[in-house]
Amino acid sequence: MKKLKGALLLAQSGGPTCVINSTASGVFLTALKHKRIITNVYGAKNGIIGILNEEFYDISKERKKELKLLKNTPSSLIGSARLKLDDPDKNKTNYIKLLNIFKKYNIRYFFYNGGNDSMNTVYKISKFMKENDWEMRILGIPKTIDNDIENIDHTPGYASAARYIATSFMEIYKDSIVYNKPQVTIVEVMGRDSGWLSASSILAKEKGYGPDLFYLPEVVFSEKTFLNDIKKILKTKNNCLIVLSEGVKYSDGKYITEHYKNLNIDPFGHSQLGGSAAILAQLVRDKLNIKVKNIEFSILQRSASHLASGVDIKEAFNVGRLAVINGLKGETDKMISIKRIKNNPYTVNYPLVPLEKVSNTERKLPLNWILKDNTGLTKDFIDYIKPLIEGDPKISYKNGLPVYAKLKLELIKKR
């Protein structure tokens, strides 16, 4: 196949992770090695929004050293967006705009780094470009701390968040037992629809410093069960440590925050500013008359790059690198996936998966990996997650603080 000559454009989408910059590093450093075919290397400023505004960073202006440092720099240096394109059957406006922009800048390689929704977006874009005879190589690159994309062993970003969660649980556990007094600690973890992130705290439990109770979105939430579970734990020990997914739902399908919002009042007579853990903390205080702490990891679980997983950084770099290599081979309409070959030693390869097989799918934690009494996860899950959080990021520290990549981020002239 004749190699398609033209510009390469990387855009990122959705919430950041510790390692999407590592993916960008993989794309950029690899692309810059193929100057005879890849005429320009661009990063879209703030994802799809930047493309529609023709705001492209010229990556050839960046220093290699800084592009390497991207591997250990959290969040997205080129910026992200949360824009969902209309379906082209309903509204073609943006697709036509994209086509014209791709033509104007001779963009032939378009890589989109995101989650489920993004794989769907890139699928629709690719279809539209084909229908309009603009030849491109369009590939999806997976990214989400939620680990909920189908047809991939695990998503880049997940393992680093998992390592942060497990380490922080060890520290919280240690802190929570320091006084000789009964205490319940509820820690809220991200995950609107799946419990992958919360489940990772089992690694802390494996070490002897983890949660007693696990509440995940895959299992219907009941306050009665929740309170009984806590009472059971407090019969044998002074402290009860709980991991709570923000996305747990009551039997009516409502999230905890929705449940109390719709009543417009919480069980204690007032409505809520806090998250789910704050609501349940008040419930436990009220019903069990015990000291309760609630903690939210908030955005730290997706940005604490100082605790990123070495495996994750490497894999995130590789999916970026392989997008370029596969694009150059003529591959298109696919996502770079990760397939685990074995656990000892941990080995993966990176097959290509058709975009239609991953767009808008959503992978939940298998129900048979969740212990029925809410006290943990099975060995199958532990075997699954354990190798993923190995290895340290190669961060350089200066004055005790991490050194991040500094990019020039020069926008190209609009044509």
> Length of the chain, please?
415
- Residue 93 engages a copy of itself in binding (rule: CB under 8 A): no
- Residue 200 engages a copy of itself in binding (rule: CB under 8 A): no
Binding mask 208-247 for a copy of itself (x = CB under 8 A): -x--------------------------------------
Q: How far is the CB of 276 from a copy of itself (least distance, A)?
A: 11
Based on CB atoms, which residue is closest to a copy of itself, 12 or 30? 12
User: Which range, of 133-141, 160-168, 216-224, 361-369, touches a copy of itself by CB under 8 A?
Assistant: 160-168
Reply yes or no: is the peptide bond before residue 366 cis, omega within 30 of 0.
no
Q: Which of 5, 392, 394, 408 binds a copy of itself (CB under 8 A)?
A: 392
- Residue 45 engages a copy of itself in binding (rule: CB under 8 A): yes
Dist CA 394 CA 127 (whole Å)? 40
- Residue 201 engages a copy of itself in binding (rule: CB under 8 A): no
Catalytic residue among 146, 148, 229, 333: 146
Q: Which of 22, 40, 46, 121 binds a copy of itself (CB under 8 A)?
A: 46
Q: Which of 201, 303, 332, 374 binds a copy of itself (CB under 8 A)?
A: 303
Backbone φ, ψ for residue 223 (5° rounding): -65, -35
Residue 206 per-residue DSSP state = H
Burial of 272 (0-12, 13-18, 19+ CB in 10 A): middle
Q: How far is the CB of 397 from a copy of itself (least distance, A)?
A: 7
- Residue 70 engages a copy of itself in binding (rule: CB under 8 A): no
Q: Where are the alpha helices (DSSP H) in 32-146?
A: 47-52, 64-69, 93-104, 116-131
Burial of 382 (0-12, 13-18, 19+ CB in 10 A): middle
Question: How many other C-beta atoms can be found within 10 angstroms of the C-beta atom of residue 68?
Answer: 15
Give the pairing type, strands 107-114 and 137-142.
parallel
Q: Phi-psi region for residue 330, left (φ > 0), alpha (ψ -120 to 50) or beta?
A: left
Q: Which of 262, 271, 347, 349 binds a copy of itself (CB under 8 A)?
A: 271
- Residue 80 engages a copy of itself in binding (rule: CB under 8 A): yes
- Residue 401 engages a copy of itself in binding (rule: CB under 8 A): yes
Dist CA 96 CA 340 (whole Å)? 39
Per 3-state DSSP, the chain is made up of helix, strand and coil in percentages (nearest 5) of 40, 20, 40
Q: Which of 278, 322, 338, 348 binds a copy of itself (CB under 8 A)?
A: 278
The identity of residue 90, as a single letter, is K
- Is 146 known to be catalytic? yes
Active-site residue numbers? 146
Binding residues for a copy of itself (CB under 8 A): 15-16, 45-46, 49-50, 73-76, 79-82, 163, 166-168, 170-172, 174-180, 203-204, 207, 209, 266, 270-274, 278-279, 281-282, 293, 295-296, 298-300, 302-307, 309-310, 386, 389-392, 397, 399-402, 404
